[in-house]
Structure 1
Amino acid sequence: VGTVYFSNDQYLNLSAINPVFNMFASMEFQKKYEDEFRFYPDERRAQLMQGQYLVDDTATTAVLNTKRPNILVIFMESFGATMIERLGGAKGVAPNLDRLSRQGVFFSNLYASSFRTDRGTVCTFSGYPGLPTLSIMKVPRIANSMPNIAHSLAEAGYQTDFLYGGDINFTNMRGYLLAGGFQKLTSQDDFTMEERNYGKWGVPDNITFDRLFNMLKEREGSKQPWFTSFLTLSSHEPFEVPFSKFEDDHFNAFAYTDHCIGRFIERFSKTPQWANTLIVLLPDHGIPYPKQGERFAPHFFRIPMIWTGGAVAKPMVVDKIASQTDLAATLLAQLGIRHNDFEFSRNVLDASYTRPFAFYTFVNGFCYLDSTGVSVYDNVANRVFYNEQPSGNSQRVAKGKAILQTLYDRVGAINSGKYK
């Protein structure tokens, strides 16, 4: 449905939809999601959820030197901790990210909330945890009802746009982004056939980073703050890139993206906009490579988040357990913008963030990890199959089940029109 979206006005988008096609597409999503994962009676579920996402923003640590910086999110395809030497990953693959992590604000204990780009995009920009049996982005009625960082910033006067060198219609991405407040989208259709034919997945990162630099360069002198998000793609299978550093094709592809990031940062740091720009480096999800141990174990879902740029006041390390879903509340709180709509996103820089935990999902399973340990649960087999510190297992599993049940209650209510 979202392939015909062309405007930030949802009325115009809906007017462009073929009604017959829309009827059949809607029939696919008539499932009652609230009936899934009914682990507990509502009262017990509410008890287990109490306090898990409560942060009051009364004592936020300020890490920026301005309340209205330009903001660039470099959304890095699959760039999990296994590729970051500072997080125990492969050596020498990402020297630029390692360097930037020491120069800015480094969130060193962060976890992806899901395992695919379509899910990770919603987790990041809408602050909504990933679901094991549903991609929210693919269901327009639900996706269009989600809060979005872009929408919040647009209301605060920001110019918003999204750049991706691949197919932006894939998994209804176009519909989700436009409904979420991104005012302009740039995708592979905006590049020449020669640029697009460099790679099977889309335009390689060196070309899209050049486009990004030129886009930002054109805004010099503008008084309107901007929020730009850029999804890279070269660190994705088939891992074919115009670069040669490692014989291993996975390592080589990630090293290429890291090289492109380093080159872009070096160029952009010399522009007048650098002084008032916050750059957020964050992956969409991790990658189970090198293939060592259980693929749903936490070290494959651990991801870096780095805040850099001239708007960052000073280097620091945030080592509390957190989730990529926490970007929304943490970022908006720094700007003094309300984030009440992001009910599953927490401001991890606030003193009231005293119950740090991470929750992530995979194909019909979930993980809950906190200071007591780690529990990875299989929803089909109804058992824990990965456990660290067994003494706290039952409580971790109970909290994870309560979160999962709550998430499906919400999407079920949204899909049926009962929740707004």
Structure 2
Amino acid sequence: MKTVVKDLRGFFLYFAFWLLMSFIDRFIFLISFSDKVNFSNLKDILRIYFHGLPLDFSLVSYICVLPFLSYLVLNYYDNEILKRKLFKCYNFILIIIFQIITFSNVNIYREWGDKISKRALDAIAEDASGAAASAESTPILIPVLGIVLLTAGSYWLFLKIFNHVVFPKKLPVWKLAIHFFVGGFILFGFIRGGFGRAPLNPSKAYFSSNTFYNHAAVNTHYSLMREYFTRNQRMRSPYKYFATDAEARALLKSAFIENPDSAYNILKTTRPNVVVFVLESFVGDLIESMGGERGITPHFEDLIREGVFFDQIYSASDRSDKGLVGLFSGFPAQGPESIIKYIDKHENMPAIGQEFFKAGYKTSFYHGGQSEFYNMKSYMLTHGVEHVVDIMNFNPLLPKTSWGIYDHIVLERMLEDLDKAEGPFFSSMFTLVNHEPFELKEYKFGKDNNINKFKSTAYYTDQSIHDFIEIAKTKAWYKNTLFILVADHGHRLPAEKWDINMPQRFHIPLLFFGDVIKEEYRGKKIHHIGNQTDLAKTLLKQLNLPSDRYIWSRDLFNHSMPEVAFYNSKDAFGIVTPEEVISYDRVGNRVNFVSNEKYPQAKADSLLNIAKAYYQEVYEDFMKY
């Protein structure tokens, strides 16, 4: 191994060189916006660099791949001069591109408020004159001079280091194989950000409620490269059914008409603490009151008898990333895309954490897994959530599933933290155990098949929430706390009979519980059809907090709210009303499910047009963010 390390020392130096380039890029960004940085606080600067390291390592590893493979392939090629020239040419081109991006990023960030992106470059390509006009207020000479000087200085340093580095040649095949596996293992590990379930993404660098610090931590070149090599439809709508937005929005009016005088309030106070439990895959079929098997979630049934329960709610989609945005931002799903993937987009949309933070609440989010997954961490931190607690905040020796720390352990930590909260708090927790592969130490319903495993993890989730609430009842803050239990999305289990186009797949519970609920509403079941996305406005209205920004969300505590819900998967979407459910395959351009074959065709066509208009306009908003 010592021999291998010695042979590869040139590549370790090469790795270090490009890591230095990444550090310089971040330093230029920081000093360019020095008014946003407290340089006297060295700890903050070090945290920015520390949290950006995984992305730095990944970018540098991508850069190293081609030279590393060339070194292996050309090991027996004798023309050392040609190999050196190719190596220098490759790096000179990379250095120029690197520095152009570094300094262009500064100007773009100054104008746009976010870093250089495919969207920004596409905008420049489409409207160069407009881009030039936008740049008139920013200094051009300094970036150009910076590109020239830093390119020259970087290439000089490169030559200084590598003109004297001798790469081993004509190594035996067995030693080359060792080099390949050692170097490949290191580079692949850094590129992917480790070997866990969640691959690396820019959210990994997010660590602060200060948006600029998060932007500074994200490696500029990594995030840009990722956009170009990640297939997406962020600027191309798959839902184009009507010629104009005006036509589509006219069709949508009937789904959003509400009479403000029909709203009612179920709370004793407008400033309660709020705790939201987002329950992984907690489909309606797990709950007896929604047609599920008795005994899977017995404690949930107890809460229903004491709370306000909505039994006709449908999730926005079939995935957690879209469910979280649906719940906290009141924003519907976008089919083949997911807005939470794009930090530059989701930063600009509203989320209820912002309203609570502005109202003086202490805000927090808990999850036992990697909060970088689905960009949850960046989404929370940029939307008023001050503290994100995830797997990195727990002892690594604690028992865990392949997804992360067990939910009951996270809930115990949450209880401890809420005890220390000063003033009203808004806290949410996203469970994970009720997710494939459904890992537990003890299975209530056995583990002979996935159905029983799923029921067992649902039973565990139910028990964990029950234990949390029972302990919470002994706390001083309990009597002034509203608890909300809701699923992130539905599931094919435990029924295993609902296809992805059927509404039962998206049928989820929504429960309001707590001593802050007026006595006359406790035990009330509301059968009004609604959406997961309606929670945002519903909750904000109950607390008299601003809700005008949540245009896709409706107030469930308003008698006049139209009985309609929408659901969406990657390739299909559906609409639910009391009389009919229609699902439409957008790829095949055909209806793929109806619940009432006798429903008049004209009315069915009208419903389908509303659904088409809904997702056309949702996607238009997605592209605008």
TM range (shorter): over 0.9
CA contact (8 A) 2:365 2:427 kept: yes
2:485 aligned with 1:274: no
Structure 1 equivalent of residue 307 of structure 2: 104
**Separation (CA, whole Å) in 1 of partners of 2:325 and 2:491:** 18
2:559 aligned with 1:351: yes
**Separation (CA, whole Å) in 2 of partners of 1:56 and 1:112:** 24
Structure 2 equivalent of residue 328 of structure 1: 536
Residue 272 of structure 1 aligns to a residue whose secondary structure is coil
Give the one of 291, 315, 320 matched to 1:117: 320
**Where is the strand percentage greater, Structure 1 or Structure 2?**
1
CA contact (8 A) 1:57 1:333 kept: no
By how many angstroms is 1:177 displaced?
1.1
Correspondence 1:266-345 to 2 at 5 A? 266-289=470-493, 290-314=495-519, 315=522, 316-345=524-553
Give the one of 382, 393, 400 matched to 2:589: 382
Structure 1 equivalent of residue 611 of structure 2: 400
CA contact (8 A) 1:29 1:139 kept: no
CA contact (8 A) 1:376 1:384 kept: yes
Deviations 1:123-154 (A, max 9, x none): 00000011111011101121111110101111
Residue 385 of structure 1 aligns to a residue whose secondary structure is strand
By how many angstroms is 1:278 displaced?
0.2
**Separation (CA, whole Å) in 1 of partners of 2:513 and 2:383:** 25
**Separation (CA, whole Å) in 1 of partners of 2:282 and 2:539:** 21
By how many angstroms is 1:57 displaced?
3.4
CA contact (8 A) 1:76 1:231 kept: yes
CA contact (8 A) 1:34 1:413 kept: no
**Separation (CA, whole Å) in 2 of partners of 1:158 and 1:186:** 17
Change (3 A) 1:209 1:30: closer
2:434 aligned with 1:235: yes
Deviations 1:241-280 (A, max 9, x none): 1333212111111111111111111111122211100000
Provide the aligned length of Structure 1 versus Structure 2.
409
| Structure 1: runs of 5+ lacking an equivalent | 415-420
**Separation (CA, whole Å) in 2 of partners of 1:351 and 1:87:** 22
Give the one of 262, 275, 284 matched to 1:72: 275
AA matched with 1:400: A
Deviations 1:27-65 (A, max 9, x none): 347855354311011132122112422335334211111
Deviations 1:323-345 (A, max 9, x none): 11001100000011120110000
Structure 1 equivalent of residue 464 of structure 2: 260
- 1 or 2 for the larger relative contact order (CA 8 Å, sep ≥6)? 1
Q: Which structure has the larger Rg over C-alpha atoms?
A: 2
CA contact (8 A) 1:60 1:334 kept: no
Identity %: 30
| Structure 2: runs of 5+ lacking an equivalent | 1-201, 447-451
**Separation (CA, whole Å) in 1 of partners of 2:338 and 2:539:** 24
2:617 aligned with 1:410: no
**Separation (CA, whole Å) in 2 of partners of 1:16 and 1:162:** 21
Change (3 A) 1:240 1:397: same
Give the one of 424, 428, 431 matched to 1:225: 424
AA matched with 1:266: E
Structure 1 equivalent of residue 207 of structure 2: 6
CA contact (8 A) 1:209 1:264 kept: yes
Residue 583 of structure 2 aligns to a residue whose secondary structure is strand
**Separation (CA, whole Å) in 2 of partners of 1:198 and 1:369:** 39
AA matched with 2:281: S
Correspondence 1:10-29 to 2 at 5 A? 10-27=211-228, 28=230
Bigger mean CA deviation after superposition, 197-206 or 90-99? 197-206
Structure 2 equivalent of residue 362 of structure 1: 569
**Where is the helix percentage greater, Structure 1 or Structure 2?**
2
Change (3 A) 1:273 1:321: same
Structure 2 equivalent of residue 37 of structure 1: 239
Give the one of 123, 147, 159 matched to 2:350: 147
**Separation (CA, whole Å) in 2 of partners of 1:264 and 1:299:** 29
The Cα RMSD (Å) is 1.5
CA contact (8 A) 1:54 1:346 kept: no
Deviations 1:331-382 (A, max 9, x none): 00001112011000001112331x1210010121101011231001111111
